[in-house]
Amino acid sequence: MVKDSLSLEAITSNLETRFIGQRVIYHSRVTSTNELAKQAVRQGAVEGTAVIADEQTAGRGRLERVWLSPKGSISLSIILYPGVTYLPSLIMVASLAVVRSIEAVTGLKSQLKWPNDVLVNGKKVCGILIENSVRGNIVNYAIIGIGVNVNLRLSDFPEILPTATSLSDELGREVSRLEIIRRLLVEIEKSYLALSAGESIYEEWRDSLVTLGRKVHIKSGDNDYEGIAESVASDGSLSLRHPDGSLTKIVAGDVTLCD
């Protein structure tokens, strides 16, 4: 049995980061770690502050969807103050950190479904929600919200069973949430610092996408598209090739893999 309890000391003790996760706000139960992170920003939280909870009661995904975050999952938000040019890369920072952390701790290979889902064996194991406040060219804040299904028995949640999985379901054993969280904090900082040093994480992100080359259905705003997901640009946008040969650039949308 894996010891699955979290604490401030356990999360931060000897954490090998410069600033990500060096200050942690921890609660056993919250409505939303992203909302608590926004409160912390208003109170002057330093960059890298992490808000972590055992359980989220009102977690949100993209498009205002509910994100299920019962006990046994990871609910984590990171406060950043990046330059505006780095905003499109934050989804790459977050998703690569999740992929690397899952493999390092569990050995499981995961893939990314554009724009923000992490899949294991074709099912969603993690969702990412990035929220920011920008005025002109000044970023007031950016918050990376990450929810990972770690020790969830998906049979207890039949409503998501067809599309979701958990690390424990995939491995047939419990996984240390503490190890995943500590590795996530390290990997987020590694990629974020790489950006500020002028390095590119785009290629690694692109190569982790399961979406490319696949027939997809995309809902973007009021528009619905079908075609082949042909490529992604360094700003994170997706190029969709329609049956008539034309291309559409999709900046944000909800993707369903059709094959």
Q: What is the pLDDT of residues 14-32, one digit of tens each?
A: 999 999 999 999 998 898 9
Place of tokens 């079908």: 226
Structure-block tokens of residue 62? 């993209």
pLDDT < 70 stretches in the chain: 1-4, 58-69, 259
Output the pLDDT for position 92.
96
Of 195, 197, 93, the residue nearest 145 (C-alpha): 93
Residue 227, sorted as left (phi over 0), alpha (psi -120 to 50) or beta, turns out to be left
Give the angle subtended at the CA of 50 by the CAs of 202 and 56, to the nearest 5°. Answer: 100
Looking at domain 8-206, which CATH architecture does it have?
A: 2-Layer Sandwich (3.30)
Decide yes or no: CATH 3.40.50.11540 for domain 212-257: no
Q: Sketch the domain layout of the chain as residue ranges.
A: 8-206, 212-257
H helices present in 17-174, as ranges: 33-42, 90-106, 167-171
The string over 140-160, giving b where at least 16 C-beta atoms fall within 10 Å of a residue's C-beta and e elsewhere, is: ebbbbbbbbbbbbebeeeeee
DSSP 89: G
pLDDT of residue 3: 61
